[in-house]
Amino acid sequence: AQTVTQSQPEMSVQEAETVTLSCTYDTSESDYYLFWYKQPPSRQMILVIRQEAYKQQNATENRFSVNFQKAAKSFSLKISDSQLGDAAMYFCAYRSRSTGANSKLTFGKGITLSVRP
């Protein structure tokens, strides 16, 4: 079974600074997806960024980028130029690329990010 580990329960960053959120996972599969979801106080789950395991290039979405290390099974999220609106809980998630009964997301426990003005 796949597992996702987020070992830091909380982090804090100064506005306009850069912060990196860590995530590791365990799987025996070679083809899969990895995601970072953001959950603000509104409780809505918002997709921040995704990475396909077969792609060597790290995904980037504006101020958000990932450092995907497939051999190390590491998937960290870097937030540049942090903004007050980035304060939220962030979840790392894994999904097998296979379809059918295996097509489900496995989440880490999440990390609460606070942004200091």
Question: In this structure, are residues 97 and 31 in contact, taking their beta carbons and an 8 Å threshold?
Answer: yes
Measured from the CB atom, the residue of 3 and 14 that comes closer to another protein is 3
Compute the distance between CA of residue 8 and CA of residue 27 in angstroms, rounded to an integer.
21
How is residue 112 written in tokens? 């609460």
Least distance in angstroms from the C-beta of 15 to another protein:
26
User: Of 62, 8, 2, 10, whose CA–CA distance to 31 is shortest?
Assistant: 2
Tell me: does residue 55 bind another protein (CB under 8 A).
no
Q: Of the candidates 41, 85, 100, 117, which one interacts with another protein according to CB under 8 A?
A: 100
Print the binding letters for residues 32-51 with another protein: x by CB under 8 A, - otherwise. -x-x-------xxx-x--x-
Question: In this structure, are residues 48 and 40 in contact, taking their beta carbons and an 8 Å threshold?
Answer: no
Compute the distance between CA of residue 3 and CA of residue 25 in angstroms, rounded to an integer.
6
Region near another protein per CB under 8 A, out of 21-29, 55-63, 77-85, 99-107: 99-107
Interface residue list for another protein (CB under 8 A):
6, 9, 33, 35, 43-45, 47, 50, 52, 91, 95, 99-101, 103-110
